[in-house]
Structure 1
Amino acid sequence: MMREAYTFTKKSQINVVFNQKPQKTPPVHFPIEERLAHEPLEKLEHKLDRLVGMDQVKLMVRELYAWLYVYRKRQEVQLKVKKQSFHMLFKGNPGTGKTTVARLLSDLFHEMEILPKGQLIEAERADLVGEYIGQTAQKTRDLVKRALGGVLFIDEAYSLSRGGEKDFGKEAIDTLVKQMEDHKDEFVLILAGYSDEMDEFLGMNPGLPSRFPIIMSFPDYSGVELLDIAKQMLDDREYTMTVEAQKKFLRLLQRKVQAQEPHFSNGRFVRNAVEKMIRQQAVRLVRENSFDRDALMTIRVCDLMVDDSDHPIISQMGEGE
């Protein structure tokens, strides 16, 4: 039996290949109406290209687009279509792109006319759990009401299951489950958190696991990927790192990754590091009274004050520049 393999090109094509690796093909020129039909994929590809790593997540997002597109085509020719739940679980450490992907998906669902508004409502435990009896259920219902027509993203959702017997977190979970049933197809709920903790969380309510058909795992970034994220952040701010600074920053990042610290903050660590670099560079420029365009843009080794002890990396590695 022949197996079909689907690959997506950056020009919104879907290649179907039988029992072999996808081959390069000449560009296909879609008619105008077909190009317009795939405009959501063009936008999606542009956003995915900006994301570093996350290959499996990107693949799943592309598969989701293809399913939504075919679903709509089946509706157009009056074929049977089964209503699909799009509630999701995101598992991974902080700073691995979960919120970014949630925002991307809310835009995609809006573009594909699955959600009429497409807004992303971000929430955490304090937005759902009240201090008094009866307050939690009302807060949770109000939050869902704000999210109708869009996506409700609850980070660190496992925190709802912690607090003991007298805690109102379980009431919030039970209310969420009921709201998912009462407002089926009216919003998408995405729960996010650490992998192990999210597995424990699912055991809090017997109705939870079956309500999340889509589970995405967000692995930690490698040292090279973290460096790429840093370079992207700096480029967005019109800064650039010298080659020597990149090498030494990469060495720090690789040490952090190899240390396998529990709940390492990944992209958040890099963002904080980049902000420190920029502040340290500003101090150096004022001291040197050097403000030409090249100096204002360049991050040097001596600007890498980003290690845990808040001392310059060069104190440990040697400046070398």
Structure 2
Amino acid sequence: MAKRILITGAAGFLGSHLCDRFIKEGFEVIGMDNLITGDVKNIEHLIKLKNFEFHHHDITKFVHVAGKLDYILHFASPASPIDYLKIPIQTLKVGSVGTLHCLGLAKEKNARILIASTSEVYGDPQVHPQNEEYYGNVNAIGPRGVYDEAKRFQESITMAYHRFHGLETRIARIFNTYGPRMRLNDGRVIPAFIGQALRGEDLTVFGDGSQTRSFCFVDDQVEGIYRLLLSDYSEPVNIGNPDEISILDFASEIIKLTGTDQKITFEELPQDDPMQRQPDISRAKEVLGWEPKVSREEGMKITYDYFKNLGAEELEKREHKDFSKHIRR
């Protein structure tokens, strides 16, 4: 009999790719999303499948799923800076109340649950690269705090359920991930740069561009999450690509990739923007036998081709124009 899994945030970028993977592995998949930041187009190819069902639901409300559940992947949350700056209360609620509902459901169904945490729990790190033993440097009352602290609380309550109730839990600390189905101009570096390149605009770099990021292609990220869910390890695990690059150098790579002649312009660095971001994936290698396989050059070509091949109308839908200046992750 097929295993049954609930994936919250199923219509989002990463959630939709996870739905694809678990369908491919023969699971019965229940996707749940309130579509505030997700897009049903990301999962419309799954709707007619007999082993996929979609629930349009906000997990900050009581969550009920009929029948057995073997696993839960909790990926519901605004993940881009533009989103969590625009809807800060909802961001805090989905990380707290929403997580509580998912944990309660996992306890009721005796299901294993994996929660999507983030490298943002490390804040603007004073340890480099970041390993799972580092407690972080987070400004709880800054503009990024609504996301960072929601995720830190999410980890805390998950471990409390694990220790107190004996619940089988997994925690994935996800570093910058990219690939097809991202939304252009959602506040993250890659879609923002690609969006500017496609529109023929100059590329905007915040600060002097010396801050670093490490980008993981979505297929690698999904493989790491899949292995973590099926592992016996309950402590947090970094899932990301340690290939670090400065934002300024990355902007130059984008210009080369797109074959455009845009200039690079500079704006003031946003508050609490991390200056370094690089995962130490020693634990993932040891516990999961996992490390990323897709190079940035290969992954970026796939991602750029995806956006370039979208029609103009679809590109417009995938843009988010509420903020012209935003925090970059």
> TM-score over 0.5 for the alignment?
no
TM-score normalised per structure 1: 0.31
The structure richer in helix per residue is 1
Normalised by the length of structure 2, the TM-score is: 0.31
More strand by share: 2
Max Rg structure:
1
